[in-house]
A and B are shown apart, each in its own frame.
Chain A
């Protein structure tokens, strides 16, 4: 039997199993909040070129605040990913040999593939940033507007989503996002202990609905554009 030796002083939130779980939950919920706000911002595209360009200009006019926000997002993302990978590695090390027969009774596909959906999302975010934020020449149509000192966002988005392959990439990316969030949302409540035995199934159901809403919210943009319903 192992002899237990750690002193309380060595135990920190960054080491503790539950501590890191809470870090995952808190960074996760902030990222989810961003996903919601980003979707609301994006939906200005449905009101035409004027609306989304005005929204983009408004964000642009915030100046250095944009960079503060971007750095904060980068920090949240990095923490969520690093701890996510670390915990996953520890978890697979805790079960070096698996049973020949394994039958799961309650967990689901989304919960069992968090690391996969998470890493796919990381790749997707890199692609998405290169496409719409960094605006790598050749990846899209970037028309510079002299008056606003900005790229015409509507043209950039609308031309991008006229290509089947690009639309496909975005749809697949959003399916992984929906999977990730459908487990993550309810997990947040359990991890922070904000639920009880009666509300747990309810949060589980809301979580799935949340995933679906985010999925359809986001994919409606490329789909409506490629089918010519947004002009």
Chain B
């Protein structure tokens, strides 16, 4: 099939960006979105032109590197699908496709579709870990954790840190990302110890990084490729209140 792509091109964080149009004359429905872009880049290379820069790594939906706003939705709006797992069969011949980077003050554009998501690392560094000494390697089942709790923590831990929650949020808030980590650790015995400090420090980091405030649009959950639930934001709020009291 034939597609017309409108791709955001920008040379650096302080440069002026613009949408540029490219023809994709021979797209296979079996290709992934990133393979389709690889084809475009191959042509650009042979023409001696600057290729389209985009982030990717595993290409199997687990690393969280791929990050593109496709037709106005981070990851393209397919339920629980990263860009790398989005396949061209969902497009139709003749479609115009808009491809843009994540846009938030906290995510400066490096080049074209690549943004610096170091802000998310900074939030984790502020408290998304446990630092209590647990001694030597314990017996696998020495620490009893109920199945519902383990499942809950695993659901929260599904976050791959791609930043789609920030990109989809009208306020560029990272509350789903922050909430998932706070919730995951707060329900586990190892994480509970530092729960109070963690929630405050992680929230403060988000504020200092210029991320916005959550106003309950729930766009984050809708665009999250892992379907991380906004119930973790409610849990974050509960943890904050607990820390406050």
Contacts and interface: CB of A to CB of B under 8 A. Distances in A.
A80 interface: no
Dominant secondary structure of chain A at its interface with chain B = loop
Contacts of B77: 103, 105
Given A4-B122, A105-B222, A94 B211 contact: yes
Contacts of A148: none
B104 A103 contact: no
Interface residues of B, number: 61
A135 interface: no
B98 A95 contact: no
B165 interface: no
B222 A106 contact: yes
Contacts of A155: none
Interface stretch (A85-93, A125-133, A136-144, A216-224): A85-93
A91 B73 contact: no
Interface stretch (B28-36, B59-67, B85-93, B196-204): B196-204
B208 A106 contact: no
A95 B241 CA distance: 27
Contact of B98 (A11, A97, A101): A101
B200 A16 contact: yes
A102 B77 CA distance: 11
A6 B208 contact: yes
Interface string B202-245: 01111111111111111101110000011101111110110010
A15 B207 contact: yes
27 contacts: A2-B119, A4-B201, A8-B200, A11-B200, A13-B244, A15-B204, A15-B207, A16-B207, A17-B173, A17-B213, A18-B175, A18-B237, A21-B213, A91-B170, A93-B105, A93-B210, A94-B173, A94-B210, A99-B103, A100-B19, A103-B72, A105-B219, A106-B221, A112-B217, A191-B216, A192-B238, A200-B234
* 6 tightest A-B CB contacts, nearest first: A103-B72, A94-B212, A193-B238, A101-B72, A91-B171, A107-B217
